[in-house]
Structure 1
Amino acid sequence: MKRGASGVRWSVDGGDRWKRRLASRWWRGGMAVAAGALPALAFPEPSLWWLAYAALVPWLLLVRSGPTGRRALLDGWLGGAGFLLAVHHWLMPSLHVFIVVLAALLGLLWAPWGWLTHRLLHGRPGPGRVAAALVLVPAAWLMVELVRSWEYLGGPWGLLGASQWQVPAALRLASVGGVWLIGYLLVLVNVALTVLIAVPRARTVAVAGITTCAAAAGAVWAWGPVAKESGTVRIAVVQPGVIRGPLPRFERSAELTRQVVGRDVDLVVWGESSVGKDLGQRPELSRELAALSRAVHADLLVNVDARRSDRPGIYKSSVLIGPEGPTGERYDKMRLVPFGEYIPARPLLGWATSVGKAAGEDRRRGTEQVVMRLPEALRIGPLVCFESAFPDMSRSLVRDGAQVLVVQSATSTFQQSWAPEQHASLAALRAAETWRPMVHATLTGVSAVFGPHGEPVGGRMGTDASAATVYQVPLGQGTSPYVRTGPWIVYGSLAALLVYGGYEGVRALRRTSGRRLPPRP
């Protein structure tokens, strides 16, 4: 190819044009939002899982190029807002403009991450600073994920590590350090790629970082403990489909349940809000459910979304039904969906009901998790919808003896969005983390079952299905390292950041003291 003067001139002009755009407040802000949104494509429904290994690079390059730490704070904030908007875009029909407000507020959590990235990677950092960046930038990312995982800030939906739910090697890592370990390594690889592109003098350190990640994953794959299977159980999942009204939904669920008569099941699971009336006030519903239990020779796990007769308020409750009716085993949902099931600080934010489909009345919370025992001595740990996003809840149930994790969910409000696929994928991670199978039963899809390695069991029921499917579910034996030790990578990340903060503080004090010393005579 011929390279004339005009070709060089075009290249220079192009570089100058990009420099002018980066110097423009609006152009740079728009690029930060777009760069932050890019990782959302790694999650279902696009499921471009491989993109997660490089999706943060444009954002990191933009942040490190900032002229000042203050600009990096802004780039981190805007990128975080873009990420949250992209991952939660399916909430827009319900929250409308309020989702933009929430994304802008929560995006602030990434501002310190942006500042730290700029601090360590700006300019021409040496190998020492780059090595620190490989440790501390992923650590700071985990701190952002940890804080936003608080249920009152929206919960842990869209943790970066969750994008790898269908990658066997990543699921094996999840059994050692949970979704947190996957996320840490993903950010480390992104930082290393950024250094390879922009910091030639430290490429050796970047290659060492990527090699270390690969070696760690290989070691876990080759020598890490794995779940042992200990028999199977047969579980029927009932998905009635898109049906308006609690009574027609109940009747369709009952009709589908009759289809599993004679199929030798151990448990039948209905989705969230499958029963719209309190069973204490509607004894005829209890009798019908008991008759279904007798017909299929198995207990039913239904979900009641109604005002309680024995205490004030509306609860969402997993209720176990036996041949004689409710067995007394009941779990009340503890972690509610912000704005969907309650409005945080309702006196201040109650206006959200006027611009979207926010909860008109707050649901009440349960107080403790419950492990239910079936007649065959099978122990199940119920979760309700949003709660499957919280790694600590599954871990707690397994530590209390649950052999099977069961999630009752309903995403019918977001039927044509990415939400059903995203939600179902979380079950694979929770199963891999705990070495316990997870049953994800929904009203309208996607319903799915995953084994103790996080592997899919049987076929999925999509959002167009109205059916009852029986799954041969393998049971897991043993205790996974993650269940035993918890999120150790989070604790290590916090410790590393505290050490770095102490180091920088001591340096700042020394510089201040040096300036105050009187000159020597």
Structure 2
Amino acid sequence: MRVEAARRETWVRRSASPVWRGFGVLVAGALPAFAFPESDVAWFAYIALVPWMMLLRTAPTGRRAFLEGWIGGLGFMLAVHQWLIPSLHVFILVLGGFLGLLWGPWGWLVRVMLRGRPSVLRTVAAMGVLPAGWLIIETVRSFDGLGGPWGLLGASQWDVPPALRLASVGGVWLVSLLVVAVNTGLTVLLTVSTARTAAVSGLAACAVAVSAAWIWAPRLENAGHARVAIVQPGVIGGVERRFDRSEELTRSLAGQDLDLVVWGESSVGRDLTNRRDLANRIAALSRQVGVPLLVNMDAPGSDQAGRTGIFKSAVLVGPEGLTGDRYDKMRLVPFGEYIPMRDALGWATSVGKAASQDRRRGTRQTVMVLPGPFLDRLRIGPLICFESAFPDMSRQLVRDGAQLLVAQSSTSTFQRSWAPEQHASLAALRAAETGRPTVHATLTGVSAVYGPEGERIGTPLGTERSASAVYEVPMARGTTAFVDLGAWPLYGALGVLAALGAFEGVRYLRRPGRERRAPRAHTVRASKERPGR
């Protein structure tokens, strides 16, 4: 008994130690990463935040809660982006520490809402306030200059049909709200006996909301099928050898009654406007398979406006050569394709594989119209690599008339990591949000296709494959609520936090004693005035 008591005392002492708490918070913040591919335990997202929130609610002070929010955010950022460590080395700690700061206010907010024995009213408010706070963090870090929306909590639900249905209503943002709300309710159930009824009611409300979305969300109409081929050359050294292998795989597609052939990002290492020989070889392939090819250039050259530099461009090539349809990548990968504030942060190139030269940005999104057997006018919306993580880009393409979203990607630098699976999974979310099938074509895998509701079509091409594959892609008519309304959950989150701020402001102004202190201060000032002045 004494031994057990000593062990309990040791545990309590260590759990109260700032060092042990800091370590625990760092680990707890990293846990949600296991809900994402390649670990891919989607259900884990609904409990992954509970240990972190349990620690935050018991922080001794608000300042300590802020610090533990920051430390947990660092753990989350490092875990979700662990595949970047071989490229950025120690600089990943700088980035993780900077972005982890975003969770500092959230840590403070968790303590405010859940500390001690929260009332039923405070528990109900927490079910809305804490998810709203998390969503604002996801919004801020979604700016491409801050790393972009990689690892959004809702993205962990990429293969869960009810969550994909929810995404069609409010995008990945609404799914993130649901996940954090469930974690909040479970935290209360496990720690606060006086508010368990409120927590159960909140969780039931989440279930009702998902059911309502499932029933209410508009159903899309079937619009036939398109036959799309993906060409994945695999891990091959040298741009010329990669081009040759892509050419060989494309020839094997002849006679398969296709609508489009897609090559991955950087599949052509030269500017086709200057290398007519390469453009002619691709045009010959187009004649052989009977449809246009969507290829991707990554090379020094000039864009359609005459600007010079290195552009990443999706280019459509038909039987007669370049069609004039071209899209230049707009959102570049920080440190991978450019270095923000290079004068100050250029040293990152000396400790990792950061971009030695900045790529140039495109200026507008493009919808390409294809001639061919599918309705004669198949309209595709191209995205390049990192851009498939941005819900607003795919939404805009669909609003501009795109019937099929095509993301060209290359994760060859990160072959033996979680990155290829995570990247491919994003296409499922973009498809579900917009109600448009999405093709994710890569150089080295994972290449995959998803239908209008985010469902997987056919068999993906894994990272070990060098192959081509044809997919029968279901098309759809109609629009989703997300396409019509946009990211309305973000505005709702801002409204919730604004209401909380207003409520706390009114409470502060009505605090007893404020009216008595103000006149006393005035009297002191008046007494110092001398007569006759």
- The question of a shared fold, defined as TM-score above 0.5 by the shorter chain, is answered with yes
Counterpart-to-counterpart distance in 2, 1:503 and 1:57: 27
Gaps of 5+ in 1: 1-5
Could you give the per-residue CA deviations for residues 23-57 of structure 1, whole angstroms, max 9, x where no partner exists?
A: 22211111111000000000000001010110000
Q: In the superposition, relative to structure 1, how do residues 196 and 11 fare at CA in structure 2: closer, same or farther (>3 Å)? A: farther
- Matched residue, 1:200: 193
Could you give the per-residue CA deviations for residues 410-460 of structure 1, whole angstroms, max 9, x where no partner exists?
A: 000000000000000000000000000000000000000000010000110
TM-score by length of 2: 0.95
Letter in 1 for 2:370: L
- Matched residue, 1:377: 377
1:300 aligns with 2:299: no
Q: Return the offset for 1:476.
A: 1.4
- Matched residue, 1:172: 165
1:92 aligns with 2:92: no
Which of 320, 328, 331 aligns to 1:324? It is 320
Counterpart-to-counterpart distance in 2, 1:386 and 1:418: 15
Q: Return the offset for 1:12.
A: 4.2
Could you give the per-residue CA deviations for residues 150-204 of structure 1, whole angstroms, max 9, x where no partner exists?
A: 1000000000000000101110000001101111011000000000011100001
Q: Return the offset for 1:496.
A: 0.8
Q: Return the offset for 1:518.
A: 5.7
1:24 aligns with 2:17: yes
- Matched residue, 1:239: 232
Letter in 1 for 2:514: S
Q: What SS does the corresponding residue of 1:269 show, helix, strand or coil?
A: strand
Counterpart-to-counterpart distance in 2, 1:75 and 1:294: 61
Which of 93, 110, 127 aligns to 1:134? It is 127
Q: What is the correspondence of 1:336-375 to structure 2 with a 5 Å cutoff?
A: 336-375=332-371
Could you give the per-residue CA deviations for residues 62-82 of structure 1, whole angstroms, max 9, x where no partner exists?
A: 000100100100110000000
CA contact under 8 A between 2:168 and 2:217: conserved in structure 1?
no
1:287 aligns with 2:280: yes
Counterpart-to-counterpart distance in 2, 1:262 and 1:372: 24
Q: What is the correspondence of 1:205-244 to structure 2 with a 5 Å cutoff?
A: 205-244=198-237
Counterpart-to-counterpart distance in 2, 1:134 and 1:514: 34
TM-score by length of 1: 0.97
Q: How many residues align?
A: 512
Q: What is the correspondence of 1:27-38 to structure 2 with a 5 Å cutoff?
A: 27-38=20-31
Q: What SS does the corresponding residue of 2:308 show, helix, strand or coil?
A: coil
1:423 aligns with 2:423: yes
CA contact under 8 A between 2:381 and 2:398: conserved in structure 1?
yes
Counterpart-to-counterpart distance in 2, 1:161 and 1:15: 38
Gaps of 5+ in 2: 521-533
Counterpart-to-counterpart distance in 1, 2:502 and 2:211: 34
CA contact under 8 A between 2:379 and 2:404: conserved in structure 1?
yes
Letter in 2 for 1:282: R
Q: In the superposition, relative to structure 1, how do residues 14 and 482 fare at CA in structure 2: closer, same or farther (>3 Å)? A: farther
Could you give the per-residue CA deviations for residues 360-415 of structure 1, whole angstroms, max 9, x where no partner exists?
A: 00000000000000012000000000000000000000000000000000000000
Counterpart-to-counterpart distance in 1, 2:222 and 2:486: 22
- Matched residue, 2:494: 494
Counterpart-to-counterpart distance in 2, 1:22 and 1:109: 25
Q: Return the offset for 1:504.
A: 1.1
Counterpart-to-counterpart distance in 2, 1:57 and 1:131: 17
1:438 aligns with 2:466: no
Q: What SS does the corresponding residue of 1:79 show, helix, strand or coil?
A: helix
Q: What is the correspondence of 1:26-105 to structure 2 with a 5 Å cutoff?
A: 26-105=19-98
- Matched residue, 1:3: none
Q: Return the offset for 1:515.
A: 4.9
Q: What is the correspondence of 1:182-193 to structure 2 with a 5 Å cutoff?
A: 182-193=175-186
Which of 139, 146, 152 aligns to 1:153? It is 146
Q: Return the offset for 1:219.
A: 1.8
Q: Return the offset for 1:10.
A: 5.3
Counterpart-to-counterpart distance in 2, 1:280 and 1:166: 40
Counterpart-to-counterpart distance in 1, 2:122 and 2:104: 20
